[in-house]
A = this chain, B = another copy of it.
Amino acid sequence: MTSEDSSPARPGRRQLLRAGSLGAGALGVGAASIGLDRTLSGRGASGASASASAAAPPLHGGETVPFHGEHQAGIETPAPAAATFVGLDLREEVDREGVLRMLRLLTDDAARLTRGEPPLADTEPEMATQPAALTVTVGFGRGLMERAERAAPSWLDPLPPFGIDELQDEFTGGDLMLQVAAEDPVTVSHALRMLLKDARAFTRVRWVQPGFRRSPGIVAPGSTMRNLFGQLDGSANPATGTPHFSHVVWIEEGPFAGGTSMVIRRIRMDMDGWDEVDRTAREQSTGTRLDDGAPLSGGTETSAADFEQVSANGFPVIGEFSHMRRARGVDDGEHQEIFRRPYNYDLAPPPGGGALSESGQIFVSFQADLLGQFLPIQQRLDTLDLLNRWTTPIGSAVFAIPPGCAEGEHIGETVLR
């Protein structure tokens, strides 16, 4: 039995690919190289342990994602296996200087942790040595902007109430959001704790939402995730690394240029109710095939849907109340896009209720224009969407994601200047 720290770090092809895919951000590439070098030198790549035999698969605990860059990491970068989202409220006494001090502290922590280095005050430095593609993404609520005495974006407010909502305070709102994500949940746990310890003098924890996706190496990178209903979820996402993605996600002008808006909603999924629905009805509810995610009009997961197609008896093949048709605004002559990066949750059921679990999705979307992209989609789905029968939003928050920062800067520096 060998200690986990004695394992050789071999960033390998995957890390290079990951770093390479960030080519659009020049700062990012530089930082990636630094991360790579450090990882290789920091943990004795030459040391041959039992695990480094030819038979063992390459380890990727040393993989790093650049923290610095034009955009914050954790949005366009591949969604890793584990993420915890935290909403924080600023303490009453924290003023503009306090906000800036906190952001400097969190930025320094995040920059170190994402490189696989312990932050300055880390009491468990051994826990920091496997960054596992760690990203830390920071979002601002209106409360933070006001405390920092700077104008919040006009759209930075809670979403309007929707008829389907059953929001709970414990999953809603917040002045500051941290998304801490990595290929490894132990890494997430330690990184988050370090950040929260340093944030503690300035904030109170409002909500914490741990989520999961497939572990690394289970399915091909870039695969669309199945949610806990078994649906391929995210097929319509813009492809990362494309001009189209940038157009959909990144704000182009103003202080938040290079940033984006983030919606995080906790969607409870009624697993028991869903069980009672047969396969045909399930496919009708989304307008897509369960097995491969293709539109019911035919083709493959990535095929364009034919919303005009009708069945032998004259009804649309992709039904009028289907999630796909409603989300795309087919019958409203509209079409908006957002980028979804959701995580699953599956927890112990509330005691005594007879449920088998408390399950659902941490819905996360990023879009350049909250009011112009996200809101119309959500309004259409609120009005009419077959899936609403089995899904209930129980938490909701909106954050402004500032752009990335360069070395020596702190997150939000340009927007709070």
Contact = CB atoms under 8 A, between A and B. Distances in A.
Interface string A185-196: 111011011001
Contact of A4 (B17, B205, B207, B223): B223
Nearest to A274: B123
A185 B212 contact: yes
Interface string A318-349: 00000000000000000000000000101111
A193 B346 CA distance: 10
Nearest to A271: B193
A60 interface: yes
Interface stretch (A23-31, A146-154, A158-166, A224-232): A224-232
A360 B105 CA distance: 27
Nearest to A170: B351
Given A126-B230, A223-B7, A13 B57 contact: yes
Nearest to A49: B220
Contacts of A222: 1-2, 50-51
Contacts of A2: 220, 222-224, 301-302
A49 B222 CA distance: 11
Query: How many monomers of this chain does the complex have?
Result: 2
A1 to B, nearest CB: 5
A128 to B, nearest CB: 10
B55 A57 contact: no
Contacts of A209: 348
A123 B49 CA distance: 45
Looking at chain A, what size class is its interface with the partner chain? 35 or more
Nearest to A221: B51
A287 interface: no
Nearest to A123: B275
A237 B2 CA distance: 11
Interface string A294-315: 0000000110000000000000
A205 B347 CA distance: 13
Nearest to A220: B51
A185 B223 contact: no
Given A59-B220, A61-B218, A301 B3 contact: yes
Interface in A193-246: 193, 196-197, 200, 204-205, 207-210, 212-226, 228-230, 232, 234-235, 237, 239
Given A3-B232, A50-B220, 4 more contacts: A1-B224, A82-B212, A126-B230, A190-B228
Q: Which 10 A-B pairs have the closest CB atoms?
A: A51-B220, A124-B230, A4-B223, A7-B220, A208-B348, A61-B218, A4-B219, A185-B212, A184-B215, A196-B356
8 contacts: A4-B220, A4-B224, A4-B232, A57-B60, A186-B226, A189-B346, A193-B228, A205-B349
